[in-house]
Structure formats: C-alpha cells, structure tokens
Amino acid sequence: MPNFPPAAPICFLLLILCSSLSGQSFSDLKPSPQQLAWQDLEFGVILHFGTNTFLDREWGDGTADPKVFAPTSFDPEQWMRAIKAAGAKYVVLVAKHHDGFCLWPTEHTDYSVKSSAWENGHGDIVRQVSDAARKYGLRFGVYLSPWDRHEPKYKDSAEYDNYYVAELQELANNYGELVEFWLDGAGSEGHVYNFPRYIENLRMYQPNTLVFADAALFEYGDIRWVGNEEGAIPYENWNVLDRHGYLRWRPVEADTPLHKKHWFWHPNDEATLKSVDELVSTYENTVGRGGQLMLGLAPDRRGLLPEADVKRMEDFGAAIRKLYGENLIAKERIHNQPLEPAFDGDPDTFWSAPAGSHLAQLEADFSKPVTFDHCLTMEWLDAGQRIEQYRIEAWDGKIWKALAEGHAIGHKKIDSFPPVTASRVRLNILASSAEAHIREFQVFSQSGK
Ligand code: FUL
C-alpha cells in the first residue's frame, strides 16, 4: 500500500497551489494607461439623434422611412459649445441605435443617412460630429447597437456578426481615434453574438479604445455600467471587480440623460429638463464618488440642441466652477514643501506617504482660520487603489474632530459636512494596502454660493 501523507497537509498544499494559480489579490490590480487617461476625463456626453428624433420615439422598431431623417439646420458645433461650457471632456455619438438606422453612409446597408433627404443623401453625421468634437478639443467615441431591429440578417447570428463587424470596421477605421466604444446589451436577450470577434476587430484598429459594457456583456468591457440610469454611483466604489473568478480593473461610468428618462428629443419636453441643482448632485454622486458621469444630450429636429438645454449646460458648468473653483488649501495654506504636490491644485503631481506605511496623515495649516464645508480628495491610481479607510478631520484647538469618513477614495472623492472654521485640516488615512499616494487634497466653502 502506498504511503499517503496525512490529509491536513494535503489540503494546505492544495490551498497554497490554488491561491498561487489564481494569483490575484485586489490590492495588486492596477489600471492600464488607457484606463487612467480615461478616468481623468471624468465627464462625457452621449448624443442620441436619429429617426427617433423625428418620430417622438425612444426605441424605434426599425420600420421608420429614412426620409423622416431631415434636420433643417444641423450644426454639431453648436452642440460642442454647450458641451464644453458644461465642462465635459469627451463625447460618444450613437452611430446606430436599436432601430438600425446608421448615421454614416455605410456600404453595408441602405438604411442610413444615404437614403435620407438630408444633404441629398451625401451627408455623414458621424464625420461632422467627430470633426466638430475635435475642433473643440473633445475626445470622440461611438455607440453601435448590437440589437438591430431593422437589419434582416439579424435573424441569423453568424450572418449578423459579419454585418456588425463590417460596420464596426468602418467606424474604427474612418473617424480617427475613438476614446470609448459603447457595447450596449439592451434588447439583446436570447441573441447569440460573437463578442470576442467584435472586440478583436475593434482592438486591431483601435488598440486604445475603452470598451464600455453592461452586466450582460461584462466580460468584454474595460469600463463597467453602473447598473442604473439615475446618475448615481453607489458608495463604496472600488475600481477592482471580480468576474467569474478573475479580477480586473474596471472603472464605472454612470449614464443619465439631461431630460429625465429621455435619451432622444421629444416635442414639448421642457418639464423633464433636469435642474441645475439636480445636475450638481448628479455630478457629486458620480464624479464625486470616483466614477465617470455620462450625460445624455438630444439634438432636436433642426439638428440643434434646444436653447433651454444649451442654457442648462452652461449654467451647470458655471455652478460646478463656482462650487469647486476656489480651493482654499491652494489659496490659504502655509507652504510645507514635502506636502506641496497634494496642495498645489495640480493633479499631475502627487504626495506619497512614507514607503511601506499603512496609515498616514496629510495636514494642511492655514495662517488664519478658514471656513469650509466640502472636501475633495484624489488618489494617484497608477499603483492601484490603495486607501481603504480615511477620515477628514479639523483641529478644534483641543482635538481632531471628524468631519467625514469613508473607505474608498479612488480617482476622486467629494465629502460634504456642516461648515467648520479651523486653521488646521487633515486627511487621516486609517488604512491603506501600501503607502498612499494623493494627487490633490482640497477644501471649499459652498455656503451662500
Ligand atoms: C440603453 C438604450 O436602450 C437606451 O435607449 C439608451 O441608448 C441608453 C444610453 O442605453 O441601453
């Protein structure tokens, strides 16, 4: 009889083997340079414009006559001016929604702008929007709906895969660098797609594009959907998630329309326009929780953003600049050279806690008492998301008083609290998986603004 070792050591050996095979721990996961660059963009806009705009619909059924697509004064530069004014850094154009109508003159179907009356069928919305975005310094990306309610090939999965890939190749090859590619799972339940082939094709021509994917298509995404369209990221927000047993850095994007529940333009829809206060709280609940805000804009039948929407975007941008424009640490601090990178208002520089530390304090001192009620902290994420517990504290003359506390910081964390007047404020890092890196520690006074 062979001489077996006792059971307990075998289990122990297996355990060691398994953990070294999976080999991943949350704190070791790091973002790609493309993900980091994308996270720095913070705020984008998704644009819905198509036959639905002309038919008062949200989900077209694919039967609309292309002739209905007839904008009278299409001007994407007007869109871009409003987008810039709001402070967004990139746009994603819905090049094809679920109705299958293509906004560029694709060679693979006639169901496109080619068959519309607009510019006598010679126009290209994708071209003009991408040119306008770049002219205004905005990054450009596309959404190409997998679900297609018009294309007859949709009935045959393999044939439709060829069709989708051909469309994707046109978009990936002809419109410059794409910052983001939206892979939307809506309506696709029960249909089999060759997603690995789609992504391989995209990556071949656009290696730096970030793929957005919702839960159904999660495996293929570099970015994840937040799981709602309300414009809020539940806190705690961690960048590393597991998917079927493997871990990946997968930052979150929260998409929400400027008009409540409406992605496309509708007549007499002023009542659904979100207020500046609602937009500011959306910003604080998305960007302020370390994720991306993707705001939906809808040009009207003229091909212009409604004047009220333009005004709302301008007012939203102005409100954010007013609320977060005057960093009192940058303005009022007593300079302390080693800490300057976190206090200088420049997110390209960062302060590091002592090497190997798991807790640290970052203290800003003022020459006179300063009143503040908001705090903004940014973690330098190149080495991973390290901070696991923190407190914002002010010195009341006797003790450090907690103003706010939390676990995740990530790209950006905004904390609010009742106004406090103090001449010392600190970020107390109570737990970090390795030494913390802080790009920015800022405080603001919003009362009365
Ligand atoms: C969803 C779509 O079904 C909506 O119509 C819209 O395009 C939104 C951004 O994504 O999944």
Q: Which atom of ligand 1 is nearest to the CA of 143?
A: 7
Handedness of CA 244, 248, 251, 257 (dihedral sign): negative
pLDDT at position 52: 98
- Domain 328-444 is of which CATH architecture? Sandwich (2.60)
Site residues for ligand 1, CB cut-off 6 Å? 46, 58, 184, 186, 255, 263
Q: Which atom of ligand 1 is nearest to the CA of 186?
A: 11
Q: Which residues of the chain have pLDDT under 50?
A: 1-21
Work out the percent of the chain whose per-residue pLDDT is above 70. 95
Question: Where does 28-323 sit in CATH, by number?
Answer: 3.20.20.80
Q: Please identify, by atom number, the ligand 1 atom nearest to the C-alpha of residue 184.
A: 11
CA of 168 to the centre of ligand 1 (A): 18
Q: How far does the centroid of ligand 1 lie from the alpha carbon of residue 366, in Å?
A: 48
How does pLDDT run across 258-289, given as a tens digit for each residue? Answer: 999 999 999 999 999 999 999 999 999 999 99
pLDDT at 22: 61
**What pLDDT does residue 246 have?**
85
Instruction: Give the distance (Å) from ligand 1 centre to CA of residue 263.
Output: 7
**Domain assignments of the chain as residue spans, ordered by start:** 28-323, 328-444
Q: Pick the residue whose CA is nearest to atom 2 on ligand 1.
A: 186
Pocket test for ligand 1, best of 55, 93, 181, 184 (most atoms within 8 A of CB): 184
